[in-house]
Structure 1
Amino acid sequence: MSQLDLFADIDGPDQPSTPPTPAAPPRRSLADLPPAPAPVTVTVSAQPRAKLATVKPKLGHYRPTQRNPHETAFDIAEAVSYAWHHAQGGAGIEVPMGVVATLALWPLRGPDAYLAADWWLSLDDTQLLTAFRECWARWWIMRPDLIDRATPLHKWVDDEKPGPKRARAVRAVVEAALTRGLLHLTSSDDPYFRSTTDVMGAVLAVMRSQGAHDALAEFHTPPEVAELMARMMFEDMPLKPGMKFDEPTGGTGGMYRAAVQVMRDKSIDPHEFGWSLADIDELAAAGAAVNAILWDLGPHVLIACGDTLHEGNLTAKAAQEARESLERRDRLHSQAAFLAAIQKVEALVRDAAA
């Protein structure tokens, strides 16, 4: 099956033409996808914002992307690869990929968000690791289904005492990614501009050895080709809310990136569609989960990791894993809220007794 056929599995003309309200039952075509994550109140410390407010940009260090964003993505990937290996970071490419993912997911958005580069570089090793943890924790609260899938990219941040070599290599990757203009690609508050390229795919393609690519039968579809395929496919296809797309060998999601860009060119909201993707490579699947957030694919996203040829359709398994992630988040959030209420009552009792 060619990649062009991946868009053929669509539940089409019998779908409702208007999106449901949040309280309505799920659409028939999206019934196997998890429900949209319920809103969760997140308390964000004001300290990073206050610190950022005093930052003066070092214009000589950070340049806007002036050329093809796909070329810039691979330029960033090559700089990250060189920095990691030059600092003797080791064979595990999940760490530099995770560093790039963290910087890309940093929640500060807007036209001046790239100035956060100075703030990142002002952090010492302990503060840097803390910022990484807070970023992933925030997104786990918002989208536990996707962050659990991205576990290979962030489980290393739980190491309380990373060795000096690891810390030095991580800092080298941070500097390389920032100075090459990563935040100019990923910090826009408009998902259209965050979706101009696939940085995670570029980093994976550059850092993975040719032998590993061959063993996993990985083939990187050029983004220009993906864009052409998406435009050709959607030229005459009626896109209706409720349709579901399935990509059984999706890599980091390059075809979906092209698809949502075409949709947005047509003023169509990707949130009204279902997106399921599978890949045998856990790092590719993890990168796709990060991209689903970065590109704002919406609430109806499933990312599976497994061998489609041997395991068949992985969508049902991924849907169950996503539901379990959401339930675990809700359970822990309820416990935290309960403990906070107890602490508040105890404080009131102490104040009354004083």
Structure 2
Amino acid sequence: MSQLNLFGDADVPDEPPPPPIPAATRRYLADLPPAPAPVTVPASARPELATVKPSLGHYRPSLSNPHQTAFDIAEAVSRAWHTAQGGAAIEIPMGVVATLALWPLRGPDAYLAADWWLSLDDTQLLTAFRECWARWWIMRPDLIDRATPLHKWIEDEKPRPTRARAVRAVVEAALTRGLLHLTSSDDAYYRSTADVMGAVLAVMRSEGAHDALAEVHTPPDVAELLARMVIDDMHLKPGMKFDEPTGGTGQMYRAAVQVLREKDIDPHEFGWALTDIDELAAAGAAVNAIIWDLGPHVLIACGDTLHQGDCYTEAADQARAVIQHRDDLHAQAAILAAIQKVEAMVRGVAA
């Protein structure tokens, strides 16, 4: 069985600067509470964190329960989408939440971007969505390609008349319930305290669909306990690969990277392979891999491991193809820029 070399050399382009955000006036969200102040939780207050090294400086949000906050956001998004008659395409509200979470502005004041988002008209909002996904496609084409169900709708030339209203309703619901409080920190440990994508999928998907896909969502506390038990017993070495054959949106990996960071171990030193039969769950996992900063060695497949067996070979081929496509476009753009520069010089000499 062939395996993807998750640690092969790759020419990763320099990260472009994040798009600028106009200064927030809070005209639209005057009542939005300030971001939760980061607080260091002493080990004595949380016995399960007794292994955390004091020098790490990691923070947990002062939100009393980030997992509950994630589900509160999901409930608000679901209610807004259906009230606005958004329809059955739950990949759209999931994609809206993913876009807001992926917006690259990070830091203690990043949550103020909520006001800027709500100041955009429908055309500007769609443009911002496209720019966000395009930026991440340049950086991580393998993950953004896997997340295609969450963003392909933004290219729809003939959307339903109610879509713009429903999308705007979701934007407002997610932001006013504090989505950016969970996803805009510049500390990946903070951003990994909850799985918002998994919560939105779990809340919005019908019970019948859950049954048909045999979906069972691992409770966050259980995932954290399992991750702590497994990792504490492992002899971890850089280059090892974690494999989750029925990973959903990645709840177990979220818990695992939290434990690793508490042990002052960089998740970037490991490989993260995940498969799920549900394309929306796999798409959510791809988005989460970016939000949680799992690192460069991530492979997410969509398939039925019980019937197909190895799903990673095809996923690896797809990932390599889309990365090559990105590189080819980059090379073409560089050649075109060089040609234009030479033509400008020739015109200058001729003048």
Of 82, 87, 92, 1:90 maps to 87
Residue equivalent to 1:24: none
What is the TM-score when the length of structure 1 is the normalising length? 0.87
Residue equivalent to 1:278: 275
Structure with greater contact order relative to length (CA < 8 Å, sep ≥ 6): 1
Post-superposition shift, 1:45?
A: 7.9
Post-superposition shift, 1:234?
A: 1.7
Q: Which amino acid aligns with 1:176?
A: A
Equivalent residues in 2 for 1:1-354 (5 A)?
A: 32-33=5-6, 35=8, 37-41=10-14, 48-49=20-21, 51=22, 53=23, 55-56=25-26, 58-64=29-35, 66-354=63-351
Backbone CA RMSD of aligned residues? 1.9
Q: Which moved more, 1:334-343 or 1:60-69?
A: 60-69
Q: Which amino acid aligns with 2:94?
A: M
Q: Distance in 2 between matches of 1:43 and 1:289?
A: 20
Q: Which runs of 5+ in 1 are unaligned?
A: 1-28
Post-superposition shift, 1:31?
A: 5.5
Post-superposition shift, 1:305?
A: 0.2
Q: Which amino acid aligns with 1:198?
A: D
- Describe the SS at the equivalent of 2:224: helix
- Describe the SS at the equivalent of 1:188: coil
Decide whether the 8 Å contact of 2:18 with 2:105 is kept in 1.
Answer: no
What is the TM-score when the length of structure 2 is the normalising length? 0.88
Post-superposition shift, 1:62?
A: 4.1
Q: Distance in 2 between matches of 1:280 and 1:322?
A: 18
Q: Distance in 1 between matches of 2:321 and 2:263?
A: 35
Per the alignment, do residues 281 and 95 of structure 1 end up closer, same or farther by CA in structure 2, a change over 3 Å counting? same
Per the alignment, do residues 161 and 124 of structure 1 end up closer, same or farther by CA in structure 2, a change over 3 Å counting? farther
- Describe the SS at the equivalent of 1:256: helix
Q: Which amino acid aligns with 1:88?
A: Q
Decide whether the 8 Å contact of 1:33 with 1:319 is kept in 2.
Answer: no
- Describe the SS at the equivalent of 1:277: strand
Q: Which moved more, 1:153-162 or 1:178-187?
A: 153-162
Q: Which amino acid aligns with 1:40?
A: P
Post-superposition shift, 1:44?
A: 5.1
Q: Distance in 2 between matches of 1:88 and 1:190?
A: 37
Q: Distance in 2 between matches of 1:34 and 1:242?
A: 7
Decide whether the 8 Å contact of 2:3 with 2:313 is kept in 1.
Answer: no
- Describe the SS at the equivalent of 2:132: helix
Post-superposition shift, 1:352?
A: 3.5
Q: Distance in 1 between matches of 2:76 and 2:228?
A: 32
Q: Which runs of 5+ in 2 are unaligned?
A: 37-62
Q: Which amino acid aligns with 1:185?
A: L
Post-superposition shift, 1:41?
A: 4.1
Q: Deviations over 1:127-162 (max 9, x none)?
A: 000000000000000000000000000001112453
Decide whether the 8 Å contact of 2:80 with 2:169 is kept in 1.
Answer: yes
Q: Deviations over 1:71-116 (max 9, x none)?
A: 0000000000000000001100000000000000001111111111
Per the alignment, do residues 345 and 54 of structure 1 end up closer, same or farther by CA in structure 2, a change over 3 Å counting? farther
Decide whether the 8 Å contact of 1:63 with 1:180 is kept in 2.
Answer: no
Identity of aligned residues (%): 76
Post-superposition shift, 1:286?
A: 0.2
- Describe the SS at the equivalent of 2:31: coil
Per the alignment, do residues 303 and 45 of structure 1 end up closer, same or farther by CA in structure 2, a change over 3 Å counting? closer
